[in-house]
């Protein structure tokens, strides 16, 4: 037997206890960042997710689309603005976000699932009142050492997750693909950070895993040095790391979502680099880690 075959067999044997442990469990995978604009990376990620489905796991995809929303805004002559990693969302911006997330990205992911041999179904948080939300209050920010109150517009925070529709489609063998557009009690559309939505949905499903895919190899002590990756973080440490400035920018909602999810029953949260080939499989089915785990 060749050395190559031996190595492949070892890999399969290493994966077996994990497959057994995760069988019939929910895993929520949030896809975003560079993967959303690179067709090859996106296709490879979906292929991994389809594999999860065929080994008896129930994957649920939540997708972002920040770079695409920004690109579309700039094409329309509108300058994106952010506060604490959250996009300021006026009437025009929320319509652009809905158009990009629901009308473009969601349908592309569903199509890829079909190409890889599984069944996908596109949903938004408005469907079946899956994500009921309220408008986020004004945020307090420091600008040139002066505190200001900033209205984020149609940016929401989750009040209720109704997972009934997710259970219905997964019971029928579909992989749900969810856009982070929620609805309030008056029927207004609200844009919610996709990392936050993924965490809220994972909590409602009591998911075994929440996987947040991004463009970096997890949380870094020094963002310019990949050797400073922090591989394990206890959920209660997250706010302290934010205060210390180690967690900043777009990593803030990711890590807060991870911390909240763990505190509310999700076993483990993994932040991994989606551009690494088969990063989901490497994270789930091997003994080594490639990102940051929050537990």
pLDDT tens across the length of the chain (295 residues): 444 544 677 878 888 999 999 999 999 999 987 777 789 999 999 999 999 999 999 999 999 998 889 999 999 999 998 876 678 999 999 999 999 999 999 999 999 999 999 999 999 999 999 999 999 999 887 766 778 788 999 999 999 999 999 999 999 999 999 999 999 999 999 999 898 899 999 999 999 999 999 888 889 988 778 788 898 999 999 999 999 999 988 788 889 989 999 999 999 999 999 888 899 998 899 887 788 999 9
Which residue range forms the structural domain that includes residue 211? 26-294
Read off φ and ψ for residue 86, nearest 5 degrees: -110, 140
In a domain, 188, yes or no: yes
pLDDT value of residue 205:
96
pLDDT value of residue 224:
76
In a domain, 126, yes or no: yes
In a domain, 21, yes or no: no
Domain count along the chain: 1
pLDDT value of residue 10:
80
In a domain, 18, yes or no: no
Q: Label the pairing between strands 86-87 and 58-63.
A: unpaired
pLDDT value of residue 2:
46
- Which neighbouring-strand residues pair with 182? 190
**CATH number of the domain residue 107 falls in:** 3.40.1160.10
In a domain, 275, yes or no: yes
Read off φ and ψ for residue 26, nearest 5 degrees: -90, 140
In a domain, 194, yes or no: yes
Binding-site residues from annotation for substrate: 65-66, 87, 191
239 vs 244: CA distance, rounded Å: 9
pLDDT value of residue 143:
67
- Which neighbouring-strand residues pair with 31? 63
In a domain, 20, yes or no: no
Binding-site residues from annotation: 65-66, 87, 191
In a domain, 13, yes or no: no
Categorise residue 51: left if φ over 0, alpha if ψ from -120 to 50, beta otherwise.
alpha
pLDDT value of residue 1:
43
pLDDT value of residue 237:
96
Q: How many CA atoms lie within 13 A of 291 on its CB side?
A: 30
Q: Cα(first)–Cα(last) distance of the chain, in Å? A: 41
């Amino acid at each position: 037997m060749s050395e190559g075959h031996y190595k492949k067999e070892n890999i399969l044997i290493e994966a077996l206890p994990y497959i057994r442990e995760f069988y019939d469990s929910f895993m929520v995978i949030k896809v975003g960042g560079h993967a959303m604009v690179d067709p090859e990376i996106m296709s490879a990620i979906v292929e991994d997710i389809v594999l999860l489905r065929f080994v008896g796991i129930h994957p649920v995809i939540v997708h972002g689309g920040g770079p695409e929303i920004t690109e579309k805004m700039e094409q329309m002559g509108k300058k994106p603005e952010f506060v604490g990693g959250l996009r300021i969302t006026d009437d025009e911006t929320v319509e652009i976000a809905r158009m990009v997330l629901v009308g473009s990205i969601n349908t592309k992911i569903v199509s890829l699932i079909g190409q890889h041999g599984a069944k996908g179904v596109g949903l938004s948080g408005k469907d079946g009142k899956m994500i009921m939300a309220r408008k986020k209050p004004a945020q307090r920010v420091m600008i040139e050492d002066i505190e200001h109150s900033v209205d984020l517009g149609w940016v929401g925070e989750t009040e209720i997750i109704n997972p009934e529709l997710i259970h219905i489609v997964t019971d029928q063998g579909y992989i749900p693909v969810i856009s982070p557009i929620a609805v309030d009690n008056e029927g207004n559309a609200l844009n919610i950070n996709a990392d936050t939505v993924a965490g809220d949905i994972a909590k409602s499903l009591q998911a075994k895993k929440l996987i947040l895919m991004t463009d970096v190899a997890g949380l870094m002590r020094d963002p310019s040095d990949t050797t400073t990756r922090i591989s394990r973080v206890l959920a209660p440490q997250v706010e302290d790391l934010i205060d210390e400035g180690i967690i900043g920018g777009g990593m803030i909602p990711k890590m807060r979502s991870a911390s909240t999810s763990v505190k509310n029953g999700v076993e483990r949260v993994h932040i991994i680099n989606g551009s690494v080939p088969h990063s989901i499989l490497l994270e789930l089915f091997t003994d080594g880690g490639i990102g940051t785990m929050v537990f």
